[in-house]
Amino acid sequence: MRIAIEAVGVLAPGLPDWDGAQAVLAGRQPFAAAPLAPCVPISLPAAERRRSSPTVRLAIAAAEQALHRTALSPQDMALVFSSPEAAGVITHQLCEVLAGSREVSPTQFHNSVHNAPSGYYSIAMNAKLCATSVCRGPWSFAAGLLDAAVQALCDDVPVLYVCYDSPLPAPLSDVMPVVEATAIALVIAPKPAAATLASWEFAVAPAEGDVAWPGWMPAAWQANASARGFEALATLAGGAGASAAMPLSPELNVQVARC
């Protein structure tokens, strides 16, 4: 099965955008850690920006990067958002309140749903097509990518795919050690067009041993499901390999090969 990649967005400490990330992913430039500036998605009205969580802002800011690089309209795209833990800091705050006063903030409660990022995004962009929020624990990148590719092909529709990890506060960080934010956004189309970056032949295949992490990547990011996408992005940056594998389960990988 083949899909076209129209545009990419990247947000991580030291990788502030796709232009900056390509040289690192292609091995032309060493990775240099740098703090990630707070995400300020311009599509969210100020009131919504204030009400939303850091995870929402991260996901939408990554999506906006990709949207700037495509002529396709956000209103014409289906949405697949994927994260191992989208509520994150909100879960922590809710659990603290529930262990004490139990006076839950209504805004915090509706922000706690896993699809809050895609919900806020759809409101900001007036995106009214199908929106799906995926979770597959540490395998969330491959699962969401697979879902996005399948939807693009089945419904003949461009799909915005965003995968993201937001840092968790203590004590949740003891059991889910995400310490830095990473996010990847892809605009996927069912067929290539003039502005297409590249096409991916993708397949679900049996896993043969563990998939290695990129050598340049900070070890701490191995807790981030979205960081599994960097090997796939390297195929677009003209990097070391023209193909990449991402774990979907202990038994399966999603493979992409640039073509």
What is the signed CA dihedral for 203, 209, 210, 213, rounded to 10 degrees? -70
Neighbours of 39 (CB within 10 A): 21
Close Cβ partners of 226 (under 8 Å, ≥ 6 residues apart): 82, 83, 140, 141, 163, 164, 165, 182, 183, 184
Contact 124, 43 (CB under 8 A): yes
By beta-carbon proximity to another protein, the closer residue of 28 and 68 is: 68
Please state the closest distance from residue 136 (CB atom) to another protein, in A.
Answer: 5
Q: Contact 247/253 with Cβ under 8 angstroms?
A: yes
In the bound complex, what is the minimum distance in angstroms from residue 241's beta carbon to another protein? 23
Q: Are strands 182-189 and 2-11 parallel, antiparallel or unpaired?
A: antiparallel
Decide if 116 contacts 101 (C-beta within 8 A).
no
To another protein, the closest distance from the beta carbon of 163 in angstroms equals 12
Residue number, 102 or 215, with CB nearest to another protein: 102
Indicate the residue among 19 and 96 with the shorter CB distance to another protein.
Answer: 96
Q: Please say which residue, 22 or 133, places its beta carbon nearer to another protein.
A: 133
β-sheet with 2-11: strand ranges across: 78-82, 159-165, 182-189, 2-11, 198-206, 252-258, 243-247
Counted residue by residue, the chain has a size of: 259
Work out how close the CB of 78 gets to another protein at its nearest, in angstroms, rounded to a whole number: 7
Nearer to another protein, 93 or 182 (CB): 93
Nearer Cβ to another protein (31/121):
121
Nearest approach in angstroms of CB 85 to another protein is 7
CB of 201 to another protein, least distance (A): 14
